[in-house]
Structure 1
Amino acid sequence: MIKPLALVLGLGAALSACSNEPYFTNPVTNLYDVLFKSGEGAPAPITQQQIVQTLSATELPVAFLNIEKRKSQSLLVRIEQNPPYDTFATSTRQAVTMRHGMITGTRGLGGDLMSTDEGPLLAQVRSRQTGHVTHIQRFLTPEDVTEVITYRCGVEADKPVNVEMGLVRGTAVEVIAACESPEGPPFVDYYVVGQGGDIVASRQWLGSEIGYVAMHMLRR
C-alpha cells in the first residue's frame, strides 16, 4: 500500500532548490512544492526576508510550519526543553511539541493533538527500516472530550536526498508511514530523516480538525 501512495504524493521529487541567498534556501520552494499543490487559494509564502530576520534575531532552533487546510504558515522558535521533548511556539503562543522532530502534540491550534504514544512509530521512522507498528493519537474534540484513535502503520524507507532548508543542510532519507484504523481516517505521513536519526522535515497528519501539517527545521 505504501508504494502507490508514495507515487501519488510525488515523493520522487528532489527536496533542494536554488536561492538568491549564498547560504540560504527558502523551505517553501523545496519540500512544500513537493508535497502541496500550488495555485489559486494557496497560502502566501513566508518570505526569505522573514526567515532571515527570525534566524538573525535568535540563536535558538527555528521551524517553519504550514497547516494545509487553513492556508496558514508560521515560523516557530523553541521556547522550552523537557528532554526528549522540545516545544516550539509562534509569537501568539500557538505551540507544537516535537520529539526528535516528530510532532507529538499541539496547543492553541483548535482541535489539538493532545498527546501521542509515539515511541514505536518514532523508533521505526528513525531506524529508516521497513516494519509495522502501532501508533496512538489523542485529540480534544469541540465538546472538550479526549478522543483516542489507535492506528496500525506500515513504515518504509525510500531514497536518500540532499537537504537544503534554511541553515539545515546534509544528507537524509525519505521515510513514509501509511496508517489505518477502524476508529479514524487513514493517513500517510512523510518524514525526512537526517543521518543522526532526527527528523528535519515532515508532513504529518494531526487529526481531522487540523489536517496535514508540513514542518521544516530551519535551524536545529
Structure 2
Amino acid sequence: MTKRFLSGLVAGALAVLAGCSGGDGETSAGLSMLKGAFAPKKEAALPNAAQLTALIQKSLHATNQPIVAVALPKRKAIAIMPRIEVNGAYATHGTSARRSLTLKHGMVTATRGFGEDLMSSDVDAALALIRSRRAGTVQRVQRYLDGENQTVALETTCRVTPGGAVRYQSGELDRRAVKVQETCKAQSTRFTNSYQVDAATGRILQAQQWISPLNGMVLIQQLR
C-alpha cells in the first residue's frame, strides 16, 4: 500500500518556512536537521516537499527506532528526529547536534538545545483527557527558560475538547484518529494546542503545541 510521507501539518510548516533564511544542513545516519534557524550564517534553501519526503524515507530505512518529524515555524527549522532514549513513558528524540525533545505518549514535555527551552511540564491531567478523547478542564504547568536564562513557571487553565474522526497517514503509519483541541489561558498568555490521537491506543500521532514565547508552537508528526 502506498504511504503518504507528508500530511497537512508538516506540509503547512513548509509553506510557512518557504523563502526563509537558513544555514548548513547536516545528514547523519538517516537523520536530517536544518539548523540554520538557530544560528543563521548564510543563505541556504530549505527542502521542498519532495526533498523532505526523500529525507524521511532515508531516515526510516536507516533505523528501526520510532521517528518524528518536527517543525518550529517561528524558528524556521525542520528536523527528522529518531528516538534516542526511553525512560518509562517518556521518549526522547534528538539530533547529532544535541537538540532534543521529550515526549510522553506523543505530548511534548521538555526540549533541549533550542534556546529558551521547555525545561519540564506537569501535564498528566491534560494528557489523560486527551488520550481518552474526553472533554474537561484541567491545570497545566510549563517551566521554560526566559531571555535571562531564568526558569519561568507558567500555570494555565486548559479546556480539552474532542472533535471528529480523521485518517492519519504519515511515514509508515496509517491509523484512524480523533482530533482533540486543548485551549489554555493564564492572565497574559493564551494558546491552543491541537492533537490527532490514535483511536485504538490513545497515542498522540500528531501534535501542535506551544512550548515557550521564543519558540512558539512546535509541530510534531509520528512517522513510525
Is TM-score (shorter-chain normalized) higher than 0.5?
yes
Q: Name the amino acid aligned to 1:204.
A: Q
Match of 1:92 among 92, 97, 111: 97
Aligned: 1:161 with 2:166: yes
Query: 1:5-154 to 2 correspondence within 5 Å?
Result: 23-27=2-6, 29-33=7-11, 38=16, 41=19, 44-45=47-48, 47-154=52-159
Q: Name the amino acid aligned to 2:2.
A: Y
Structure 1 unmatched runs, 5+: 1-21
> What is the TM-score normalised by the length of structure 2?
0.82
1:112-164 residue CA offsets vs partner (Å, 9 max, x unmatched): 00000010111111110111000000001222211001000011000000111
Match of 2:190 among 186, 190, 205: 186
What percentage of residue pairs aligned between the two structures are identical?
A: 33
Instruction: Specify whether residues 123 and 35 from structure 1 end up closer, same or farther in structure 2 by C-alpha distance, changes over 3 A only.
Output: farther
Instruction: Specify whether residues 139 and 38 from structure 1 end up closer, same or farther in structure 2 by C-alpha distance, changes over 3 A only.
Output: closer
Deviation at 1:209, TM superposition (A): 1.1
Deviation at 1:169, TM superposition (A): 1.1
Instruction: Specify whether residues 120 and 93 from structure 1 end up closer, same or farther in structure 2 by C-alpha distance, changes over 3 A only.
Output: same
- Tell me how far apart the structure 1 counterparts of residues 207 and 14 of structure 2 sit (CA, whole Å): 12
- Tell me how far apart the structure 2 counterparts of residues 25 and 38 of structure 1 sit (CA, whole Å): 20
Deviation at 1:33, TM superposition (A): 4.3
Deviation at 1:88, TM superposition (A): 0.3
Contact kept, 8 Å, 2:157 with 2:185, in 1: the verdict is yes
Q: Name the amino acid aligned to 1:80.
A: E
Aligned length in residues: 196
Deviation at 1:89, TM superposition (A): 0.1
- Tell me how far apart the structure 1 counterparts of residues 220 and 18 of structure 2 sit (CA, whole Å): 22
- Tell me how far apart the structure 2 counterparts of residues 38 and 201 of structure 1 sit (CA, whole Å): 18
DSSP-derived class of the 1:49 partner: helix
Q: Name the amino acid aligned to 2:174.
A: R
Deviation at 1:92, TM superposition (A): 1.3
> What is the TM-score normalised by the length of structure 1?
0.84
Instruction: Specify whether residues 84 and 171 from structure 1 end up closer, same or farther in structure 2 by C-alpha distance, changes over 3 A only.
Output: same
1:32-90 residue CA offsets vs partner (Å, 9 max, x unmatched): 34678648546544521111111101000000000011111000010000011000001
**RMSD of aligned Cα (Å):** 1.8
Structure 2 unmatched runs, 5+: 21-45
